[in-house]
Amino acid sequence: MIAAALLFAARQYLPMVPRGTTLAGRRRMQTHVHPGATLVIKGEIIAQEPLTIAGRVDGTIEAQGHMVTIQPGAHVAADIAAASVVVGGHVRGSIDAERRIELHAGAEVNGDLKAPRAAVEDGAFLNGKVHVAGIAVPAA
C-alpha cells in the first residue's frame, strides 16, 4: 500500500519517459567546472574543460589544453598542469602551464612556476623559482 502511494506521488512530480528514450537532447551539459567555496577535494582532478577553484583542493590538478583559475580565498595544495593558470588565491605546489601563468594581487604561491609567459601583479607573493622558456602553444 505504501509503495503504491509513493509510486503515485512520484508520477505526479516526475515526467514519464518512454522506455528506450533519453533526456540527452533536452538538457545541455555544464561546460565549466566550478567547485564552490565550501567544497574540499582530496585527490587527483583531471579536467577536459576550463576549471575554476573557489574552495580547497589537496592533491593534483591536470587540465591539459584548458585554463585553471584559482579564485581569491581558494586554498590549493597541489601541483597544477594546464594550458593557462590564473591565481588569485593560495597555492602550495608547482604550476606548469603550456601558455601562460598569471599571479594577481593577493595571490600567494609557494612553489615553482614553469611557462613560456608569466605575469606577476603588484601585491602577489611568490616563494619559488620561475622558469620562463619555450614556445607558447597557440590557443585552439
Flag whether 11 is in a domain.
no
Nearest in space to 102 (alpha carbons), one of 79, 78, 130: 130
Take residue 37 and report the three cell numbers written for it.
567555496
* Number of domains the chain contains: 1
Q: DSSP of 77-139, one letter per residue?
A: EEEEEEEEEEESSEEES-EEEEEEEEE-TT-EEES-EEESEEEE-TT-EEES-EEE-S-PPPP
Flag whether 2 is in a domain.
no
pLDDT bin (cut points 50, 70, 90) of residue 53 is: very high
Flag whether 54 is in a domain.
yes
Work out the number of other CB atoms within 10 angstroms of the CB of residue 44: 11
**Confidence (pLDDT) at 6:** 41
**DSSP label of 12:** H
Percentage of residues of the chain with pLDDT beyond 90? 63
Flag whether 68 is in a domain.
yes
Flag whether 21 is in a domain.
no
**Confidence (pLDDT) at 106:** 96
Flag whether 58 is in a domain.
yes
The region, left, alpha or beta by phi > 0 then psi within -120 to 50, assigned to residue 37 is: alpha
Q: Residue 111 and residue 132: Cα distance in Å, rounded?
A: 14
Q: Rounded mean pLDDT of 26-50? A: 73
**DSSP label of 29:** P
Flag whether 104 is in a domain.
yes
Q: How do residues 82-127 score in pLDDT, each as one tens digit? A: 999 999 999 999 999 999 999 999 999 999 999 999 999 999 999 9
Q: Residue 108 and residue 102: Cα distance in Å, rounded?
A: 12
Per the prediction, the chain carries an average pLDDT of 81
Flag whether 140 is in a domain.
no
Range of the domain at 53: 32-132
